[in-house]
Amino acid sequence: MRHLIRALWGEPSAPDPPRPGWRDWALVGVLVPVAVLEGVLRPDVPWRALSLVIGVGLIPTLLWRRSKPLLVVVIAFGTMLFSQVWALVAGGEPPGLNTMAYMLLLPYTLIRWGSKRQAMLGLPVILVPAVISVPLTSTTPGDAIAGFAILFTAMALGEALRYRAYARTRQLEQVRLVEREQLARDLHDTVAHHVSAIVIRAQAGLAVSATDPAAAGEALRVIETEASRTLAEMRSMVRVLRRAEERADLTPLPLVTDLGDLPRIGAGPAVDVDITGDVDGLAPALSTTVYRLAQESVTNARRHARHASRIAVSVAADERFVHLRVSDDGDIVHPRAGSSPGYGLTGMAERAGLFGGSLSAGPNLGRGWTVTAVLPRNGSAS
């Protein structure tokens, strides 16, 4: 219980309370003449002059009810308590107008925009005058119950809208987090793939530059091509993120059927691609995911597989699942104990998980490294 009270006491005010707008000024502009007319024309107004001063004088507090909720509540309900003390001393009903029903906005605003500390401090300030008014105004039990029901309903509505705004903020934060993760995967699977090819070609060109200038020149041409592709993809992604007026290039996303292009992209060990089963009927999102998983696996093998001469990519689709297997014949490199997987493997596992699939990666019994993924055909990104 102590922890709950401490948590409530430390909860901050709702962020970004709205400043007084035209609706607030319009409300004040309507309430002032209404209160004046009631104070002048209504025959049974107690302490007419004082009621008119209190009823009209408290209306401007509505303009600061969001920015200073506790202060406004103390001013308004403290004035009401003062008027009740006046009635007890002088006799008769406390001064007030029916128009002062606008004060129900103040408890609502205190709960909606104030901190929990302000709400806990302001609640007694609200309830004391409300309780005292029952015997002073000769209110019937039914009217008293109805009055308190309206008061607590206003505060409950403030809490409900506050929670709704909080839940929506959390939902937007979650959406932004998912978008950032997706952007990180896309950057790694597209731009990083071309950059890896550039690095491999640059290393190959440096190795043969002294003995074979023609090979070094060919490496530079490949680097130029890969760099141009990287720049084009970066510009396309930035254009989409900036929501520029010009539309991004509507380049089709790669599919499983495009895996045949992998042997011609980048340098390193030869890549053999084998596709069996009905892959043309795969959902586009699933087909692109299989391509990205294979692309990243091939890139990792080209960068990290030592003395590898061949990379085998196998895709087999049946009625229920799509099986992907990428293996190389390089030297076995066991992961260090306690080391965390790289961003590539993390992103691949996330992609597979979005479709309800699984992914595993590890060294083979003899030579090389193998990545396997199993994705259900009816899976959908969640």
Mean pLDDT of 236-262: 66
Distance CA 294, CA 236 (A): 23
Render pLDDT for 31-83 as a digit per residue (tens, 0 to 9).
999 999 999 999 988 889 999 999 999 999 999 999 999 999 999 999 999 99
Q: Which of 307, 373, 378, 317 is nearest to 345 (CA)?
A: 373
CA distances from 200 to 158, 265, 350 (A): 61, 12, 26
pLDDT above 80 for 307: no
- Secondary structure, 3-state, the chain: CHHHHHHHHHCCCCCCCCCCCHHHHHHHHHHHHHHHHHHHHCCCCCCHHHHHHHHHHCHHHHHHCCCCHHHHHHHHHHHHHHHHHHHHHHCCCCCCCHHHHHHHHHHHHHHHHCCHHHHHHHHHHHHHHHHHHHHHCCCCHHHHHHHHHHHHHHHHHHHHHHHHHHHHHHHHHHHHHHHHHHHHHHHHHHHHHHHHHHHHHHHHHHHHCCCCHHHHHHHHHHHHHHHHHHHHHHHHHHHHHHCCCCCCCCCCCCCHHHHHHHHHCCCCCEEEEEEEECCCCCCHHHHHHHHHHHHHHHHHHHHHCCCCCEEEEEEEECCCEEEEEEEECCCCCCCCCCCCCCHHHHHHHHHHHHCCCEEEEEECCCCCEEEEEEEECCCCCC
Render pLDDT for 147-199 as a digit per residue (tens, 0 to 9).
899 999 999 999 999 999 888 888 877 777 777 776 666 666 666 666 766 77
pLDDT above 70 for 375: yes
pTM of the model: 0.55
Q: Which amino acid is at 43?
A: P
Distance CA 302, CA 376 (A): 28
What's the pLDDT score for residue 338? 47
Between strands 358-363 and 369-376, the pairing is antiparallel
What's the pLDDT score for residue 245? 47
Looking at per-residue pLDDT, the higher value among 101 and 213 belongs to: 101
Mean pLDDT of 352-378: 86
pLDDT above 50 for 122: yes
Mean pLDDT of 103-111: 94
Q: Do 290 and 282 meet the contact criterion of CB atoms below 8 Å apart? A: yes
Token reading at 23: 């609706």
Query: Phi and psi for 311 in degrees, rounded to 5?
Result: -125, 125
What's the pLDDT score for residue 337? 47
Mean pLDDT of 221-250: 64
Query: Phi and psi for 249 in degrees, rounded to 5?
Result: -60, 130
Distance CA 146, CA 140 (A): 10
